[in-house]
Amino acid sequence: MRRFYEWIADHPYVVIGITLCVTAVFLAFIPRITTDTDFSHYIDPNDPGLVATRRAEDRYGAQSLLMVAIENTQGIFNQATLTKVAEMQAAFAAIDGVDDVTGPLNVQIVTGTETSLWVGPAAPRGTVPATAEEMAAYRDRLLQSNTARGYVVASDEQAAAISIRLKAGTNELAVTEKVASVAKEYNSSPDRVHIIGLSYMNVVLAETMGKDLRILLPLVILAIILVLYLSFRSVRGVLLPLLVVILSTGWSVGLMGAIKVPLTIISFILPVILMAIGVAYGIHVLNRFYEAIDSGLGRRTAVVETGLQMLAPVLMAGLTTVAGFLSLLNSVLVPQRDFGPFAAIGVAVAMVLSLVLIPAFLSLLRPPRQRAHRGESGFVNRVLSVFGWLVLRHRRSVLVVSAILFVAFLSGLSILRIETAETEFLGKESPVVQAMNVLERHFSGSGQLMVEIDTGVRDGLKEPALLSKIVELESYLEAKGVKKTSSLADLVREMNQKFHADDPSYYVIPEDRKLVSQLLALFTFSGGDLGNLTLGDFSAGEVMGLYPVGRSSDQVKLVRDVTAYLKAHFSSPVEAELVGETRISASLHARIARSQISSLATSIAASGAIVALLMASFVAGLISLVPLLLTIAINFGVMAFTGTPLNMATLMVSSMAIGMGIDYAIHFMSRYRREILAGGSAEKALQSTILTTGRGIAFNALSLVLGFILLLASSFKGTRDFGLFVAMTMAISALSAFTVIPAVLITWHPKFLTRTARMRRKERETSTRVE
């Protein structure tokens, strides 16, 4: 490797030129980067719940709606609010791509009398009632209708909903943006207008991601500049590591564009994270270079020695971080699986460029004046010295306190929650979540539960016995907390009642199959839309339910119970299966815990193995894991005790903490061993390590903590939690490296610290004997 670094020192322009050429290639692909905010794409396409849901979408159409809700806590039955509703309905209907708009004014209501069936819009001519009497009659008609109440008007009269159906093949996002633009115009007190639907969530997420990046990227760059300046107090000390992280981020993001991997709500923070993480390698390399210059070496020699001495620790630190990110490949969430490799690539590039490009630049630049670079920050040295003193005087106490902390925080694991819902990631203040809360407050809830009933034969759903079973299923669902259900059975019962002069005693499934068929024909010929209640040939259909969304664990229980019910009550040839978001969410929830354990185990094992391999010591690998285990325990404990759940983003914290946190242990142990091998006592080695490498670790940790804490400026709660907990784990990992690692090393004096020295001594003895 010496020849390699000598070559770099002699050919810096070649290194810089090659780097710039490769960078240009990757930068060219950045404009091609796309975003994917669709949560349904975030799940393994082979997930059984997702497969069943996709099949249902193919058969019945979209499983989610675009809806606009108007909330007025003083009631919606007034001229002003309903005029807004009427104007919005007309405006939505005029948008190209909108197929049908149904709201409280134009919803079709069927009224039965002895001699006739009346079919028409809830409001006469679909217009706002003009007089108080007309308003009262309209209100009664709407609230008494099973098809209107709970769908287009809330039972509490404080909200109305306009349902928008898009034409097949329409650009959903474009239409949704137009809908949002119209809705915004009418959002004025006392009426609050909210938009609900997956396409709207995608629009909001795409906008928010862009806004976040525009804020976070400059912030993280400023933070890095600040840390680098504090650390080196020189232009080169700031610019060289900064250049490395900008290039590595460009390479990684450019690669995403080249192979068409979109940015997701997880990976959009990749540039921010890579900058925060990647700067560490540059800090350590520069730190060592200045040490070499301080020791009186010339520029070329200092470059070569720096490269040689930093190769192993930077390689170890980089590879363990890469391993931590690659462990995300075990995740059940596609965004994490996409994020992991590209973060790993970015880290690897930062590692390589720190070891190659920085030495190349240093070979060109005039050597710094001795000691001028350090800024002589006495405060930092004093703080670091305190750690040295603490370990030397109270190493057993350090170990005991660490053990107590480990056990105490680990005990929180039992109450740690997993939440897979989008709302948990988005946060309460998100317009998407606020809109969903309108459904929770005034309608039947924002959770959608769907059961597909497939008879496999034409007109199979028209069998009265099966329809009665569906009615029983709906009763069961309601007993389980589902507030509103709808099915073909409901429709048949309603039409039967209407045809019998609205007599409630006829709200039953007729025993005659022909009558069922004729009532359904009556409904469709009356302009009724069967939607996803049934396929065109009545061989299969869906039972839909709305429920208030609580915790993910409640969803899992609901899915488990309903699945058991379906299995017990529907048998071949009739197949009944849960489909839709509730099943997907429950399936994810169950798999996430396993995936988390698997990710953690992988990253712990990989990191320990890398350290063991590169330090040629199994014990070294084990010791490097000690502070990590403490960090993970504290991370989970704090999350549990503060009620922060594991969500799409915070799930990654532990794996990342391992990959990045172990770096401190590596740098510390490498330097400590070098000091021991150089013949120093434990006390001297510790003091020297803590004031040299410890300084690098401190600034490295500071840059990471600052970089990740900036994520608190994100609009997403999940990202904010992620930033906060990664920052916390980085701080704990660094503190552990200053305390737990030296306490272990000094207490047990593991053999790997002196093995190389003993081997060299043996070799010398052998050669002496030969002579």
Partner 1 sequence: MDQKRLAVALALIIASLAACVAWGAAPTGDEILVQVDQQGEFLGEGSLVTTLRFETVYADGTSSTNLFGALGNRREGGPEYSLVYFLEPADLAGTIFLSAKKAGEEARLWLYLPALGLPKELVSEEEKEDSFAGSAISYQDIGGRDLAGKYRAEIVREEDLTVGDLVRSVYVLSLTARPGATSDSALETMWVDKEEYILLRAESRSASGVLERVVEFAALGRFEGKLTADRIVARDFAGGSTTTITFLERRRPAIGLPDGLFVPESLATFDPATYGLTAR
Residues at the contact surface with partner 1, assessed by CB under 8 A: 58-61, 96-97, 99, 112, 115-121, 124-126, 167-169, 458-459, 462, 499, 510, 512-519, 521-522, 524-527, 530, 535-537, 539
Residue 234: CB minimum distance to partner 1, A:
59
- d(CA 44, CA 330) in angstroms, rounded, equals 11
**Least distance from partner 1 to the Cβ atom of residue 449, Å:** 21
The number of beta carbons lying within 10 Å of the beta carbon of residue 118 is 10
Distant-in-sequence, close-in-space partners of 536: CB < 8 Å, separation ≥ 6: none
Edge-to-edge strand list for the sheet holding 575-579: 484-486, 540-547, 447-454, 575-579
Q: How far is the CB of 534 from partner 1 (least distance, A)?
A: 9
Nearer to partner 1, 31 or 169 (CB): 169
Contact call for residues 141 and 124 (beta carbons, < 8 A): no
Q: Which is nearer to partner 1, 463 or 478 (CB)?
A: 463
Nearer to partner 1, 87 or 459 (CB): 459
Q: How far is the CB of 136 from partner 1 (least distance, A)?
A: 19
Q: Which residue's CB is nearer to partner 1, number 169 or number 296?
A: 169
What single DSSP character describes residue 8?
A: H
**DSSP notation for 427-457:** -TTSHHHHHHHHHHHHSS-SEEEEEEEE-SS
Nearer to partner 1, 509 or 730 (CB): 509
User: What are the backbone angles phi and psi of residue 588, rounded to the nearest 5°?
Assistant: -60, -45
Closer residue to partner 1 (CB): 104 or 645: 104
Nearer to partner 1 (CB atom), residue 66 or residue 355? 66
Indicate the residue among 174 and 609 with the shorter CB distance to partner 1.
174
| 22 vs 117 by CB, closer to partner 1 | 117
What is the C-alpha to C-alpha distance for residues 730 and 628, in angstroms, rounded to an integer? 10
CB of 38 to partner 1, least distance (A): 22
> What is the rounded CA–CA span in Å between residue 244 and residue 181?
42
Q: Which candidate, 232, 276, 392, 385, places its Cα nearest to that of 694?
A: 385
Q: With respect to partner 1, which residue has the nearer C-beta, 226 or 515? A: 515
Strand 98-102 to 159-166 pairing = antiparallel
CB of 99 to partner 1, least distance (A): 5
Shortest spacing between CB 87 and partner 1, in angstroms:
17
Give whichever of 513 and 551 is closer to partner 1, judged by the CB atom: 513
Residues near 346 by Cβ (< 8 Å), separated by ≥ 6?
A: 248, 249, 251, 252, 270, 274, 277, 278
Residue 116 or 572 having the CB closest to partner 1: 116
Decide if 152 contacts 162 (C-beta within 8 A). Answer: yes
Cα–Cα distance measured from residue 611 to residue 312, given in angstroms and rounded to the nearest whole number = 10
Minimum gap (Å) between residue 85 Cβ and partner 1: 18
Distance CA 52, CA 578 (A): 8
271 by Cβ neighbours in 10 Å (0-12 / 13-18 / 19+) ranks as buried
What kind and span of H or E run contains 544? strand 540-547
Query: DSSP string of 46-85?
Result: T-HHHHHHHHHHHHH--SS-EEEEEE-TT-S-SHHHHHHH
Contacts of 321 (CB under 8 A, 6+ apart): 277, 344, 347, 659, 660, 662, 663
Q: How far apart (Å, rounded) are the C-alpha atoms in residues 723 and 712?
A: 6
Closest Cα to residue 755, out of 616, 652, 653? 616
Smallest distance from partner 1 to CB 526, Å? 6
Write down the least CB distance from residue 131 to partner 1, Å. Answer: 18
Beta carbon of residue 210, minimum distance to partner 1 (angstroms, whole number): 26
Residue entry with tokens 């405060």: 379
How distant, in Å, are the alpha carbons of 184, 272, 278, 630, 666 from that of 703? Answer: 41, 12, 10, 21, 18
Give SS3 for 142. helix
Cβ distance to partner 1 smaller for residue 559 or 574: 574
Nearest distance in Å: CB 110, partner 1: 10
Query: Cβ 120 to partner 1, closest distance in Å?
Result: 3
- 379 vs 525, beta carbon nearer partner 1: 525
**CB 622 to partner 1: min, Å:** 59
